[in-house]
């Protein structure tokens, strides 16, 4: 009889603890701040971005680059920037996400994303998906005319570029 009572108690405890554990997991995974990479497969990743608070809004800086150096062995620069005065800025540490304000529980809008590959800046929204990935939509004018990319949390340690 004692074994049956212990089993019943164990089942009851698991029933009570399981929902609490999953809600803690959801709260942790819903955090948008921190390190994100641009591709699920590590061999295809080119950049990692650190998202943080900047004056009560979200922003993001380049944290890691797969190829941080140019062919001449120098740190890569923001050479496509339309402002000639900014073309000498290093890509490492460059702010590429700015001005995002939370609009719903898992969405931030009103921000901009800068594409250093071509020097263009786009209006943008960020959405944290149920699978833990981040969807960033950049667009011109209205969201219908744009592109969405998916970022994920890196599983490996990435060294901050300098």
Q: Are 39 and 12 in a shared domain?
A: no
Q: Are 61 and 138 in a shared domain?
A: yes
For residue range 73-87, list pLDDT tens digits in order: 999 999 999 999 999
- 69: pLDDT strictly greater than 60: yes
Indicate the number of domains in the chain: 2
Q: Quote the CA–CA distance of 9 and 2 in Å, as a whole number.
A: 11
Q: Are 37 and 16 in a shared domain?
A: no
Q: Is residue 71 part of a domain?
A: yes
Q: Is residue 160 part of a domain?
A: no
Query: Is 0.85 surpassed by the pTM of this model?
Result: no
Q: Are 37 and 18 in a shared domain?
A: no
Q: Is residue 158 part of a domain?
A: no
| Order of all β-strands in the sheet with 95-104 | 34-37, 47-54, 57-65, 95-104, 107-115, 120-128, 134-139, 146-151
For residue range 16-30, list pLDDT tens digits in order: 333 333 333 333 344
Q: Count the neighbouring beta carbons within 10 Å of the beta carbon of residue 111.
A: 21
Q: Are 20 and 92 in a shared domain?
A: no
Q: Are 63 and 22 in a shared domain?
A: no
> Which segments within the chain are labelled E, that is strand?
34-37, 47-54, 57-65, 95-104, 107-115, 120-128, 134-139, 146-151
Q: Say if strands 95-104 and 47-54 run parallel, antiparallel, or are unpaired.
A: unpaired
Of residues 28 and 56, the one with the higher pLDDT is 56
> Which residue, 126, 123, 145, is CA-closest to 135?
126
User: Bridge-partner residues for 122, per DSSP?
Assistant: 113
Q: Is residue 53 part of a domain?
A: yes
Q: Is residue 54 part of a domain?
A: yes
Q: Are 45 and 108 in a shared domain?
A: yes
Instruction: Please tell me whether residue 22 adopts helix, strand or coil conformation.
Output: helix
- 137: pLDDT strictly greater than 60: yes
Q: Are 89 and 129 in a shared domain?
A: yes
> Which residue, 131, 127, 132, 129, is CA-closest to 146?
127
For residue range 93-116, list pLDDT tens digits in order: 999 999 999 999 999 999 999 999
Q: Is residue 95 part of a domain?
A: yes
Q: Are 114 and 84 in a shared domain?
A: yes
Q: Are 66 and 112 in a shared domain?
A: yes
Average pLDDT, the chain: 84
Q: Is residue 161 part of a domain?
A: no
Q: Are 45 and 4 in a shared domain?
A: no
Burial of 7 (0-12, 13-18, 19+ CB in 10 A): exposed
Range of the domain at 134: 33-151
Q: Are 46 and 108 in a shared domain?
A: yes
């Amino acid at each position: 009889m004692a074994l049956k009572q212990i089993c019943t108690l164990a089942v009851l405890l698991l029933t009570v603890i399981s929902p609490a554990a999953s809600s803690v997991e959801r709260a942790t995974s819903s955090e948008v701040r921190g390190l994100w990479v641009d591709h699920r497969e590590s061999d295809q990743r080119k950049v990692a971005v650190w998202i943080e608070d900047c004056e009560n809004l979200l922003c993001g800086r380049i944290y890691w680059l797969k190829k941080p150096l140019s062919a001449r062995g120098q740190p890569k620069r923001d050479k496509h920037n339309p402002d000639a005065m900014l073309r000498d800025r290093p890509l490492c540490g460059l702010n590429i996400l700015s001005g995002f304000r939370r609009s719903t529980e898992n969405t931030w809008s009103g921000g901009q994303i800068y594409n250093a590959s071509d020097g263009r800046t786009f209006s943008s929204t960020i959405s944290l998906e149920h699978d833990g990935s981040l969807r960033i939509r950049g667009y011109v004018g209205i969201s219908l005319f744009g592109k969405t990319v998916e970022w994920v949390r890196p599983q490996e340690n990435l060294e901050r570029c300098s």
